[in-house]
Structure 1
Amino acid sequence: MTNPLKTQVLIKIDTITYKGHSVIRINIPPQKEISFVGEKAFIREDSSTVEAKGPKLLAVSQLFQK
């Protein structure tokens, strides 16, 4: 992650209680460009996080062009 994104994420971490359990909540602020972890980018597909490669990465990239 880029340093600005790390800072934005770290200041948005808090805990909530859900059904009697403490849960860490991490809020990710809206981004203006694709964020990479090392050389990889990830997207959500339904309830999973998957690496964005090839056409999927291009499709995500186009979302930021608008």
Structure 2
Amino acid sequence: MGEHLTIDRDRCMGSGQCTFYAPNTFDLDDISVAIVIDEHGDPEDSIRQAIEVCPTRSIARALAAQGAGE
């Protein structure tokens, strides 16, 4: 099992801090809520920084479910 990025869309206030620190990983959708566009789009330290500066702590890493047959 690996990890993947999750965003609590109910908590996200759309500050855009994640897009500043990791612009190839995060973006804001049409209603200014953060989305993950590429989990590996930026260096790990940039992604970690984006997670740490999120003012609502909406970004997290979660264990990815293992698919059938893996």
TM-score by length of 1: 0.27
Q: Which of the pair is proportionally richer in helix?
A: 1
TM-score by length of 2: 0.26
- Whose RCO is larger (CA < 8 A, sep 6+)? 2
Q: Which of the pair is proportionally richer in strand?
A: 1
